[in-house]
Amino acid sequence: MTRRAFFVRTAVLAPVVLAAPALLRAQNSSTVNMNGDFYIPVRPAPKPNATAQLDDDAIQALERTLACPCPCTLDVYTCRTTDVLCTNSPAIHRDVVRMVEGGYTGDEIVSQLMDVYGQRILALPRKEGFNLVGWFFPFVAIGTGGLAIAYLLRTWRNNAVAAAALATTSGVRSIGVQATDEEMERLNAALRDDSR
Amino acid sequence: MILVGELSLWVAILMAAWTTTVSWAGGYQRRSDLVFSGERAMYATFAFTTVASIGLWYAIFTHDFSLKFVSSYSSRNLPSVYLFSSFWAGQAGSMLFWTLILAGYGALAVFFNRHRLRAMMPWVTGTMGLVTLFFLLTTAFGANPFERLDWVPADGRGMNPQLQNPGMAIHPPMLYFGYVATAVPFAFAIGALITRQLDGEWLAAVRRWSLLSWFFLTIGIVLGMWWAYVELGWSGYWAWDAVENSSLLPWLSGTAFLHSIMIQEKRGMLKKWNVTLVVLTFLLSILGTFITRSGVIESVHAFARSNVGPWFLWFLIISTILTAVLVSTRLKDMEAKAELESMVSREAAFLYNNLVLVGIAFTTLWGTLFPILSEWVQGEKITVGPPFFNSVNTPLGLLLLALTGIGPLIAWRRASSANLKRQFLAPSIVGVLAVVVLLALGMRHFYALVFYGLAAFVATTITMEFVKGIGARRRMYQENLATAGVRLVVRNRRRYGGYVVHFGVVVMFAAFAGSYFKKDYAEVDLKTGDTFTATDPWGDTWTFTSEGMNSFETLNRRVTAISLVATYNGKPMGRMLAEKRQHFDSNKAETFEPSTEVAIMEMARQDVYVFFSGLRDADTAVLTFNFNPLVIWVWIGGFIMAFGGVIVMWPQAERRERGYVAELSPQHDGALVGAGV
């Protein structure tokens, strides 16, 4: 096996081998039920002399950052205002309103919800810890792809330059083609025109 | 008939196994008798799969509820069209339907190449046979639609109400036609790799099948969006759901391939990359099937879940390993003398286009699978919702839109500065003007401005191409405008069909950008005679007056409907009817949770979207009102893309091409002179 072949095989097979156990485990432990009750009450005691810190628009904005725990993949606001069959998002909305009336700020409400549901209550993973891999790896991968293309294009251009130099020194334009400058220019122009 | 169908499924398994065995043996030993036997067996596999499918349809239409599948997904009072489509409403039937399409494609691939690619075809036939065998085995042992119950219920459960929609009767088959078609280029790639024939005719065959796959996936995805919009009631059409993403992945890699294949055709470069994309597209189809059917990731598409997930996962793993090994042993055969005169050339533009398309595919796949990875690493499940996909894919989408306009106008090999100026000056001015006009009209959203600026730029480049082409024809042949336009497209379907597809992309992106407009939502209680007044995102006034509710029974459901009379700036706009439905079986027993039918008034500028949430009391309906800007253009854009795909695929173009190539062959010097070359 050549070194290149080895690297190609390793690059392709490694992710498959690494991902397989996780996928199999997820497959085996899957307990998703669309009709299930995913709601868990979050009702901390109101603060003393509580006054609401958030208005309706702020509550709406906050609920757009929360994921409905049922498998609808929508945020709490969108789910509760459209999916009448889901009982989870209206219940979470009631908890949010209760916490707002209890004097909790947006960050405190999110924190209370995360204590109960964990990170899955956030529609967008926080940019911290392992989640950073999730956020930035696509950019790293695309950036690496961009660099690879830049390298490829440079190599191809160098090939073209080398071929042109060889043709000039040997007095031959390319294999099997002998033409004057003027003829080559006309041919190139015709090719360009034809390919457009 | 049902027993014949069931037996045919088992015979089809034997036929598929025979197809693979003798085709590969024939290819290896170069024995034409074995090769022919394999090809006949592929036809037989298709024939027996067809009989098995007819058997299942027969069971559905004759209401044979002794079959678990029939009793689970149909009922006596289900309308005929949905009886027909209940074939793919559940896992087992859809697996058989998938296999039917696959066997049909295999038979077609064999038939169309019966006199061509003779060294390669045994391996192609064998690979198609093997993939078909896998699906047949999965159907027979993992999700058998002929599985019987211990007792016979009087009636079936019926079909999920959300699937009782014309879009849903067409959307899954379209997606299946698209998904399954990726198997044919994959089989050709395997054949080309084994026989080391990675040039010439296999490219033409692969391109044709890839186009077919792309075409059906495009229609399937757009129909799926439409179904979600009219049926799920959340007033959106794309939620980056795992199953939606699964359909997008092979579409993206297939689109990348359809662009990069042109570099190999024109310059003989990128052979390794093209083979990789063909293989990747097929594997992404299998991965999508695994995600859809395994329940490994939470999705709204719960009706597609079953226990065949591990079958697909193992098939995916084994296919990936075997293909990677095969590709790595053929790297030397795919070496090409690659030369590029300039970084500013069409070759380079295609590479950038491929980077963006594959980048979007990777990001989408990454976001879809990251919750599993996170749970594995951190022990805690996280949600990767639409905001992640939107924030990462939106800039990439903008880049793709820009390349849609730039790529086709750059010359092959090298673009001179004069060429660039001539091609891009007018489109750039139009793009900037569009942004200025929108700013003057008060639009301030950054992404929306960039989207519309680029859309105007790309639309202008496409228009210029048509204007130049039609002008040239009119000067040369003295044709009128319509004749010149039609002939321009007909004579160069691939190029101008591609432009039509690009125009569809522009229309669709412009519609997507409508989601940046301010969207208002209102939940309102309306008694009979009450009026609700609202202002839409364009500042116009709407009124909706309730004419009251009506309850009635029809076919397989009890319907409660509310009628609204709408006016727009005082002008009558007609009635809107929103419904709440309770489905029942033939004994009037309720079968599913209540469902809803939204009322949608479609206009060029926006959709008025009314959702019947429920009843407050006997005379008071709870309704939600949404104004959704530019949604109709999503469907129009999708239609234009599919129409462009038809133009590109039209077979006459291929025949002309072959004729053109024949004209250019050395034996036809006279024709060359005649053509003015």
B433-442 confidence digits (pLDDT tens) = 999 999 998 8
> What chain A residue is nearest to B363 in terms of C-alpha separation?
A138
B593 and A196: CB-CB below 8 Å?
no
Binned at pLDDT 50, 70 and 90, residue B107 comes out as: very high
Determine the average pLDDT of the residues in B448-475: 93
Same domain membership, residue B152 and residue B3 = yes
pLDDT of B543 over the 70 cut = yes
Contacts of A57 (CB under 8 A, 6+ apart): none
Two tokens, residue B59: 């069971």
Last residue of a domain, one of B158, B173, B208: B158
Pairing type for strands B521-527 and B531-535 reads unpaired
Write the CA distances from B116 to B119, B120, B121, integer angstroms.
9, 9, 8
Whether residue B27 is contained in a domain is answered as yes
A61 touches chain B (CB under 8 A): no
B313 and A159: CB-CB below 8 Å?
no
A26 and B382: CB-CB below 8 Å?
no
pLDDT of A34 over the 50 cut = no
A174 touches chain B (CB under 8 A): no
Two tokens, residue A144: 């690496």
B496 touches chain A (CB under 8 A): no
- Ranked by mean pLDDT, the top range of A28-42, A96-110, B324-338 is A96-110
Binned at pLDDT 50, 70 and 90, residue B361 comes out as: very high
Q: Do B51 and B5 touch, CB atoms closer than 8 A?
A: yes
pLDDT of B301 over the 60 cut = no
- pLDDT, position A79: 80
A134 and B366: CB-CB below 8 Å?
yes
A85 and B593: CB-CB below 8 Å?
yes
Binned at pLDDT 50, 70 and 90, residue B673 comes out as: very low
> What chain B residue is nearest to A32 in terms of C-alpha separation?
B298
Same domain membership, residue B277 and residue B201 = yes
Q: Do B581 and B594 touch, CB atoms closer than 8 A?
A: yes
Determine the average pLDDT of the residues in A35-53: 80
A195 touches chain B (CB under 8 A): yes
Whether residue B354 is contained in a domain is answered as no
Same domain membership, residue B490 and residue B539 = no
For residue B321, count CB atoms less than 10 angstroms from its CB and return exposed for 0-12, middle for 13-18, buried for 19 or more.
Answer: middle
By Cβ distance, the residue of A13, A72, A84 closest to B321 is: A13
> What chain A residue is nearest to B241 in terms of C-alpha separation?
A73
Contacts of B318 (CB under 8 A, 6+ apart): none
| Residue B170 vs residue B281, higher pLDDT | B281
- pLDDT, position A1: 58
pLDDT of B206 over the 60 cut = yes
B369 and A79: CB-CB below 8 Å?
no
- Ranked by mean pLDDT, the top range of A109-113, A122-126, B160-164 is A109-113
Q: Give me the residues of B, 157-196, that contact A with CB < 8 A.
A: none
Task: Give DSSP secondary structure letters for A102-166.
Answer: TT--HHHHHHHHHHHH-GGGBSS--SSTTHHHHHHHHHHHHHHHHHHHHHHHHHHHHHHHHHHHH
- pLDDT, position A84: 58
Determine the average pLDDT of the residues in B369-385: 84
pLDDT of A38 over the 70 cut = yes
- pLDDT, position B669: 35
A13 touches chain B (CB under 8 A): yes
Q: In angstroms, rounded to a whole number, what is the distance separating the alpha carbons of residues B364 and B350? A: 21
> What chain A residue is nearest to B307 in terms of C-alpha separation?
A27
Determine the average pLDDT of the residues in B511-517: 86
- pLDDT, position A85: 65
Which residues in A lie closer than 8 A to residue B376 (C-beta atoms)?
Answer: 21-22, 25-26
pLDDT of B288 over the 50 cut = yes
A82 and B358: CB-CB below 8 Å?
no
Whether residue B392 is contained in a domain is answered as no
Same domain membership, residue B188 and residue B67 = no
Last residue of a domain, one of B139, B158, B177: B158
Q: Give me the residues of A, 31-50, that contact B with CB < 8 A.
A: 32-35
Determine the average pLDDT of the residues in B339-354: 83
Q: Which of B245, B315, B340, B461 to mutate to test the interface with A (most CBs of A within 10 A)?
A: B340
Whether residue B559 is contained in a domain is answered as yes
Angle, helices B183-195/B166-181, rounded to nearest 10 degrees? 0
Question: Domains in chain B: how many in total?
Answer: 4
Same domain membership, residue B83 and residue B18 = yes
- pLDDT, position A8: 58
Whether residue B365 is contained in a domain is answered as no
Same domain membership, residue B111 and residue B44 = yes
- pLDDT, position B424: 87
Which residues in B lie closer than 8 A to residue A163 (C-beta atoms)?
Answer: 339
pLDDT of A32 over the 50 cut = no
Binned at pLDDT 50, 70 and 90, residue A177 comes out as: low
- pLDDT, position B187: 95
Kindly state the percentage of chain B with pLDDT values over 70: 94
- pLDDT, position A24: 52
A132 touches chain B (CB under 8 A): no
Q: In angstroms, rounded to a whole number, what is the distance separating the alpha carbons of residues B256 and B249? A: 11
What pairs with residue B600 in β-bridges?
B609
Q: Which of B162, B163, B275, B298 to mutate to test the interface with A (most CBs of A within 10 A)?
A: B298
pLDDT of B592 over the 90 cut = no
B203 touches chain A (CB under 8 A): no
- pLDDT, position B61: 94
Same domain membership, residue B76 and residue B48 = yes
Whether residue B382 is contained in a domain is answered as no
User: ipTM, 2 decimals?
Assistant: 0.76
Binned at pLDDT 50, 70 and 90, residue B674 comes out as: very low
Same domain membership, residue B582 and residue B460 = no
Q: Where are the domains of chain A?
A: 33-129, 137-195
B325 touches chain A (CB under 8 A): yes
B235 and A82: CB-CB below 8 Å?
yes
- pLDDT, position B662: 41
Whether residue B390 is contained in a domain is answered as no
> What chain A residue is nearest to B609 in terms of C-alpha separation?
A82
- pLDDT, position B300: 57
Which residues in A lie closer than 8 A to residue B627 (C-beta atoms)?
Answer: none
Binned at pLDDT 50, 70 and 90, residue B305 comes out as: low
Whether residue B387 is contained in a domain is answered as no
Task: Give DSSP secondary structure letters for B593-613.
Answer: --EEE-EEEE-SSEEEEEEEE
Which residues in B lie closer than 8 A to residue A75 (C-beta atoms)?
Answer: 385-386
Same domain membership, residue B182 and residue B90 = no
Q: Which of A84, A119, A130, A173 to mutate to test the interface with B (most CBs of B within 10 A)?
A: A84
Kindly state the percentage of chain B with pLDDT values over 90: 50
B426 touches chain A (CB under 8 A): no
In which residue are the tokens 């579409």 written? B251
- pLDDT, position B657: 45
By Cβ distance, the residue of A8, A85, A119 closest to B328 is: A8
Q: In angstroms, rounded to a whole number, what is the distance separating the alpha carbons of residues B409 and B404? A: 9
Pairing type for strands B541-554 and B557-568 reads antiparallel
By Cβ distance, the residue of B299, B321, B411 closest to A196 is: B411
- pLDDT, position B396: 93
Same domain membership, residue B216 and residue B139 = no
Same domain membership, residue B15 and residue B122 = yes
Q: What is the arrangement of strands in the sheet containing B541-554, beginning at the earlier edge strand?
A: B531-535, B541-554, B557-568, B571-583, B595-597
Last residue of a domain, one of B158, B179, B198: B158
Determine the average pLDDT of the residues in A30-43: 62
- pLDDT, position A176: 52
pLDDT of B479 over the 80 cut = yes
Same domain membership, residue B164 and residue B150 = no
Range of the domain at B43: 1-158
pLDDT of A196 over the 60 cut = no
Determine the average pLDDT of the residues in B627-631: 91
Under 8 Å CB pairs connecting chains A and B tally to: 214
Task: Tell me the average pLDDT of chain B.
Answer: 87
